[in-house]
Amino acid sequence: MSTTTSHTTENAYTVALKQLDRAAQHVEGVDRWAIDRLHYPQRELTVNFPVKMDDGSVEVFTGYRVHHSTLRGPTKGGIRYHPEVDINEVRALAMWMTWKCAIVGIPYGGAKGGVVVDPALLSLRELEHLTRRYATEISILMNPKGDIPAPDVNTNAQIMAWIMDTYSMHQGFTSLAVVTGKPIEMGGSLGRNTATGRGVMFVIRESLRQQGKTIKGLVAAVQGFGNVGSISALSVYQEGARVVAVSDVRGGIYNPQGLDIPKVIEHVEYTGSVVNFPGSQSVTNAELLLLPCDILIPAALGNQLTEDNAKDVKAWMIAEGANGPTTPEADLIFDERGIQVLPDVVANAGGVTVSYFEWVQDLEWFFWSAEEIEKRLETILVNSFNAVKDISIKKHIDMRTAAQVLAVERVAKAQMISGLYP
């Protein structure tokens, strides 16, 4: 989903580095060189590859795969298809994945991938050809014990299935564990499709519980209605929140009395968008961020909450379903205004957590029940949130900085214990 709320030209990698530097001021017990090392991705791959189109023409596409860190285990991170993908965005997303995995305590490092393409302009056959060729190009990095991709913006279970099949054909045997987010029929995990959205709700619920509050009766607005946004909206709706606004790439809908989220989902399945949902009025993606509500869930793309609009946000809690939706300048404004920000590296870590579960199940060829997966997911996210909250209180810092302090300490200590090779 592409929306613009600011004229800022600051790229995502610059934002990620600013966040790291802010956290580094509070990190204890590690040498500075170990932190300095984390400013740089471990390896980067840029690929340019031809794809034969349905009309017989050939187009060349550019793709990326970046590994930020392998200190704590294999690299893990999604693949996105979007016309605005660039190397700096992929670097930032890989770094944030390193932090996310460290915070929830799973043995992964961060990675990310992407192809510069608008998949809506491709036929299904063209999309498959592009995916299989990209998978082949990055297979020099990708493997079940080294780098495990997953879905991200504009990619899904079908695309993961094509990637897994392509890799398996090259190996000569089925390799279930090479990607996660696959269809159940091909080794996917129960609960993976809803994990990120459900995780957003679990973190919101735990934060409110500590304040003696519940979700029931609170007003929520959700920017983005893809996998993360729709499941987040449905989850808080089922907990009793009044969801007054949701949006997608075509626009948003608003009803101050509340939207029937299951019916909105049905409307999207039928029409392809939330737009023109009966009984609602139109709002833009930018306007949605400033609507009166208690909980704002930005679940679209990055850089949506900036210094230009942060002062006008009405919500008192922001739960980040998207990666990097808030700029460092906006973070400072929210901190000054006393607005609670549940940062992406905690709030949307449900996806990578259940991806880890899927990977473990695939390696063992033994699968868990949906109930077991959801219980494990909630336990990990609640414990991770509380660990971050404790640091926030102890060091008198905001939650995002606290989360990155926890992550950087864990990764930098792994670097120090490992030492330098040779």
Which active-site residues does the annotation give? 112
Those residues whose C-beta lies under 8 Å from the C-beta of residue 383, and which sit 6 or more positions away, are none
Tell me the C-alpha distance between 209 and 213, whole Å: 5
CA distances to 18, 228, 409 from 220, rounded to whole Å, are: 29, 15, 34
Those residues whose C-beta lies under 8 Å from the C-beta of residue 40, and which sit 6 or more positions away, are none
Structure tokens, 350: 């449900």
Helix (H, G, I), strand (E, B) or coil at 325: coil
Single out the residue of 2, 1, 4, 12 nearest to residue 344, CA to CA. 12
| Category of 210 on φ-ψ map: left (φ > 0), alpha (ψ -120 to 50) or beta | alpha
Cβ(245)–Cβ(221) under 8 Å?
Answer: yes
Single out the residue of 207, 190, 287, 208 nearest to residue 247, CA to CA. 287
Cβ(87)–Cβ(96) under 8 Å?
Answer: no
Residue type, 342: L
DSSP string computed for 70-116: -TTSSEEEEEEEETT--HHHHHHHHHHHHHHHHHHT-S-EEEEEEEE
Tell me the C-alpha distance between 72 and 405, whole Å: 16
The residue whose two tokens read 């809506």 is 120
Residue type, 34: A
Tell me the C-alpha distance between 86 and 64, whole Å: 8
Structure tokens, 216: 């029931």
Tell me the C-alpha distance between 111 and 41, whole Å: 9
H/E element holding 320?
none
Cβ(334)–Cβ(318) under 8 Å?
Answer: yes
Single out the residue of 231, 265, 261 nearest to residue 245, CA to CA. 261
Residue type, 315: A
Structure tokens, 337: 């205004």
